[in-house]
Amino acid sequence: MWRGSGSACEGSCERASRRRWSRPERSSKRERGTMEHPQLVPPLRRIGLVGRDRTPGIADVLAELRRILDSWEVEVFAEAGLREGVFSHALPLDVAGDGGMDLLISLGGDGTLLRGASSVPLGTPILGVNMGHLGFLTSLPVTHLREGMEQIRRGEAWLDRRSTVEGDVVRNGGELESSVWALNDLVLHKGGVARVVRLRLSVAWGGREEEIAKFSGDGIIVATPTGSTAYSLSAGGPILVPDMASLVVTPISPHTLAMRPLVLPVRGRLTIEALDRVEELVLTADGRKGIPLGPGDRVVVRPGRDRVTLVRFPGQTFFDTLRRKLNWAI
């Protein structure tokens, strides 16, 4: 079992994260092998940092992380707000460039992790250090920062590759305006207008396209299995196991009880069309990149071509996380 580090950041780190956490056992040969989960193989030479400089307690956490990384002899890249104080020597995160990055450390909650995932090349291993309230996607409590980093250094961490979702915005005239991707979800929702919107859903597979439904409501969520425990769950959607090859389509406050969430296989293509009453209708991807939509505009949704790679520790499972962080089935 991991033992407490007794580190200098212990007091402030404890205040930053008080959630119960099951400390994983050291890995078995199977967990370290290549059967189900590829291993995060040291040495790690290029490490990135993302986080908000105003997060309570982050100064102490950065100081502890600096002490850890100094002994690793690594090149550090960081967001602008973190390139002060103990990490003033760090290079800007966006200059990692073609050299890639061996590990991205996200200091915060799920929002910080999602932002970090969009800031580095897809496939970069991301370690979520939870300094937020829930941190469902994070795997390491800030109170166990040193222990977790030591496990990574020993090669006792594995990679969890999560599917993504992509969406093309096609304007009324047929021109493709932009494309977005998300780890959690694509959401079509109203801006600041209180009126409902009317949407049409259709799905294409097997060489033909079929209309699913037309409905009025506040919008719609298309979530990956990873995102099924986020906004979609709050809107009444089901929980999907992360490695399912599916997307969940969840209406937001539909004006009929018959319009329920729908799970679709990823082999098809989903089209969402804005019909009318779409003032301030916006498409967001993991809460970012708000793209306004008008009547006749479409969003063509498909499974993502790439995956986001999260760092996990032996003994951490999806259902254990559900029980601990969402009090599921308790």
**Tens-place pLDDT, residues 259-284:** 999 999 998 899 999 987 667 789 99
Q: Is the pLDDT of residue 243 over 90?
A: yes
Q: Is 172 left (phi over 0), alpha (psi -120 to 50) or beta?
A: alpha
Can you point out the beta strands (E) in the chain?
A: 46-51, 75-78, 91-92, 103-108, 125-130, 140-141, 158-170, 176-182, 185-190, 197-205, 208-217, 219-223, 246-252, 262-265, 269-276, 281-285, 288-293, 298-312
Complete DSSP assignment for 33-62: SSSSS-B-PSP--EEEEEE-TTSTTHHHHH
Q: What radius of gyration do the chain's Cα atoms show?
A: 21
Number of domains in the chain: 2
Range of the domain at 120: 10-157+313-326
* 290 and 318 co-located in one domain: no
* 145 and 171 co-located in one domain: no
More confident residue, 192 or 124: 124
Answer whether 0.85 is exceeded by the pTM: yes
The residues pairing with 47 across neighbouring beta strands, listed in sequence order, are 76, 103
* 136 and 68 co-located in one domain: yes
Q: What is the DSSP letter of 159?
A: E
Overall average pLDDT of the 196-219 stretch: 92
* 81 and 145 co-located in one domain: yes
Model pLDDT, residue 12: 42
CA angle 323, 24, 37 (to 5 degrees): 90
Overall average pLDDT of the 131-153 stretch: 94
Does residue 227 fall inside a structural domain?
A: yes
Q: CB-based contacts of 11: which residues, under 8 Å, 6+ apart?
A: 60
Q: Is the pLDDT of residue 36 over 60?
A: yes
Does residue 4 fall inside a structural domain?
A: no
**Tens-place pLDDT, residues 283-317:** 999 999 789 998 889 999 999 999 999 999 998 99
Model pLDDT, residue 173: 86
Model pLDDT, residue 192: 67
Model pLDDT, residue 98: 67
CA atoms within 13 A on the CB side of 244: 18
Q: Hey, is 208 helix, strand or coil?
A: strand
Give the largest Cα separation in the chain, rounded: 63
Does residue 5 fall inside a structural domain?
A: no
- The residues assigned a catalytic role are 110
* 204 and 319 co-located in one domain: no
* 134 and 232 co-located in one domain: no
Q: Which tokens is 249 given?
A: 């389509």
**Tens-place pLDDT, residues 65-110:** 999 999 998 999 999 999 988 999 999 998 876 678 999 999 999 9
Q: Is 302 left (phi over 0), alpha (psi -120 to 50) or beta?
A: beta
Categorize the per-residue pLDDT at 7 as very low, low, confident or very high, splitting at 50, 70 and 90.
Answer: very low
* 147 and 237 co-located in one domain: no
3-state helix, strand, coil in the chain (%, to 5): 20, 35, 40
Q: Is the pLDDT of residue 18 over 60?
A: no
